[in-house]
């Protein structure tokens, strides 16, 4: 089923605006954060207007309504990723906090000096720095699945690493720079055969693809609401129940306890054991609304639309003399096109495009080691979502030609 993008765009108020230069906004930065549709904005507004109260503590009407909305959103999120139970969905601030939760609560209880953690060379800093911190503290070993020149993971090298019996394999499902969609099910299957636990950074995949945690057999999977039409400040960690049950709490305080004495405490049951203090209630409501919105459109339809846009964008970009696009072909990537333009810094490219209302990202995209591997300090990155059109790709290409003319 193809998307009626012209109608769909009407759901996103921000896409109707003009920039300060009086030109129509062309938003090509959804990999950094997506725009928000009216159902999400209205759901959060309705919560604040009608049901604002703290959760799990009160017996008055507002508290019960707020609790019901908060937990109903968790149920929607669990269904969206096909989690066996909503108890296995932990609210976090974002993907970064979800990965850190695993690093602190699972890894510090299970990893010791000399234990191997396998990552990849294409990781976002969020799935790199927490393990470097643990390496400095605990003396664990880190090794990396190499990225090939075409932007794919070297799975032969991965199998060689698995012969060293790692305790954890943590990897991105989709690269935020290369757009590479990694074969998560195969990576997980091989890791389990070697006796390792797996953690999937799904920040870039859950918004764009149908992700089924049971089909993947993922042990942990982390993602953020703000990249999937939801609000900032909230994300989720999925974990297998037996792992979550065995893990100590991440933060201490209210709501994560069953009983507290002056010298001891008993932790709450899942998922509340990992949700200390007053949470992002309105954001959870918005998260649930975002999941409903994406479900109503259909993840297969979204993925097909993005594939069509991305294939068209790669074709158009490769026409431009001096443009180098990074990552695999459209068959192996999501809606990301990171590129360089000969002799022109990516920040200059982004700033000039912005004059024409075209919003792209420029920099190392929190993936400095990956950029170093390709021998570049930064890239410009256009990224696409369900609301983007081929006409916007044409405007991007016209803008890049303008950059070339300005720089002679």
- What integer pLDDT is reported at residue 1 of this predicted model? 62
Distance between CA atoms of residues 262 and 197, nearest Å: 36
Give the bridge partners for 172, in sequence order.
201
- What integer pLDDT is reported at residue 335 of this predicted model? 97
Q: What is the pLDDT of residues 330-363, one digit of tens each?
A: 999 999 999 999 999 999 999 999 999 999 999 9
Q: Do domains 5-30+298-406 and 41-296 have the same CATH topology?
A: no
- What integer pLDDT is reported at residue 369 of this predicted model? 96
Asked if residues 233 and 93 have their Cβ atoms less than 8 Å apart, the reply is yes
- What integer pLDDT is reported at residue 21 of this predicted model? 80
- What integer pLDDT is reported at residue 22 of this predicted model? 86
- The matching CATH number, chosen from 3.20.20.70, 3.40.640.10, 3.40.720.10, 3.30.930.10, for 41-296 is 3.40.640.10
Q: What is the pLDDT of residues 362-386, one digit of tens each?
A: 999 999 999 999 999 999 999 999 9
Active site residue 366: yes
Q: What is the pLDDT of residues 127-166, one digit of tens each?
A: 999 999 999 999 999 999 999 999 999 999 999 999 999 9
Domain covering 5-30+298-406 in this structure, CATH number: 3.90.1150.10
Q: What is the pLDDT of the chain when averaged over all its residues?
A: 97
**pLDDT above 90 coverage of the chain, percent:** 97
Q: What is the pLDDT of residues 269-327, one digit of tens each?
A: 999 999 999 999 999 999 999 999 999 999 999 999 999 999 999 999 999 999 999 99
pLDDT at residue 112 greater than cutoff 80? yes
- What integer pLDDT is reported at residue 78 of this predicted model? 98
- What integer pLDDT is reported at residue 2 of this predicted model? 81
Q: Residue ranges of the domains in the chain?
A: 5-30+298-406, 41-296
The one catalytic residue among 142, 157, 366, 376: 366
Band of pLDDT at residue 20, cut at 50, 70 and 90: confident
- What integer pLDDT is reported at residue 57 of this predicted model? 79
Band of pLDDT at residue 19, cut at 50, 70 and 90: confident
């Amino acid at each position: 089923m193809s998307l009626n993008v012209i109608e769909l765009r009407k759901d996103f108020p921000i896409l109707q605006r003009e920039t300060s230069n009086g030109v129509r906004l062309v938003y090509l930065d959804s990999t950094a954060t997506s725009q928000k549709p009216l159902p999400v904005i209205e759901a959060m507004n309705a919560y604040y207007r009608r049901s604002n109260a703290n959760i799990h503590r009160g017996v008055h009407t507002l508290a019960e309504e707020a609790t019901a909305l908060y937990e109903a959103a968790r149920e929607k999120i669990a269904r969206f990723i096909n989690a066996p139970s909503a108890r296995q969905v932990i609210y976090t601030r974002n993907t970064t906090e979800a990965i850190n939760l695993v690093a602190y609560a699972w890894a510090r209880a299970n990893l010791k000096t000399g234990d191997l953690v396998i990552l990849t060379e294409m990781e976002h800093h969020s799935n790199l720095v927490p393990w470097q911190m643990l390496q400095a503290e605990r003396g664990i070993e880190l090794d990396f699945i190499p990225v090939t020149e075409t932007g794919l993971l070297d799975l032969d090298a991965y199998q060689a690493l698995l012969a060293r019996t790692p305790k954890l394999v943590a990897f991105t499902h989709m690269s935020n720079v290369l757009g590479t969609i990694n074969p998560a099910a195969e990576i997980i299957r091989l890791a389990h055969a070697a006796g390792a636990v797996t953690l999937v950074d799904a920040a870039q995949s859950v918004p764009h693809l149908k992700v089924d945690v049971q089909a993947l057999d993922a042990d942990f999977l982390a993602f953020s609401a703000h990249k999937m039409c939801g609000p900032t400040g909230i994300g989720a960690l999925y974990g297998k129940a037996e792992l979550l049950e065995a893990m100590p709490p991440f933060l201490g305080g209210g709501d994560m306890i069953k009983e507290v004495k002056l010298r001891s405490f008993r932790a709450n049951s899942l998922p509340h054991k990992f949700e200390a203090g007053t949470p992002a209630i309105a954001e959870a409501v918005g998260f649930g609304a975002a999941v409903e919105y994406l479900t109503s459109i259909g993840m297969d339809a979204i993925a097909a639309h993005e594939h069509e846009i991305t294939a068209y964008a790669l074709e158009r970009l490769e026409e431009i003399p001096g443009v180098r696009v990074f990552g695999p072909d459209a068959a192996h990537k999501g809606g990301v096109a990171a590129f360089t333009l000969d002799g022109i810094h990516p920040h200059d490219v982004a700033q000039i495009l912005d004059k024409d209302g075209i919003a792209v990202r420029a920099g190392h995209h929190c993936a400095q080691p990956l950029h170093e591997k390709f021998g570049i300090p930064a890239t410009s990155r256009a990224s696409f979502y369900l609301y983007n059109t081929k006409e916007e790709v044409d405007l991007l290409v016209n803008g890049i030609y303008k950059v070339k003319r300005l720089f002679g």
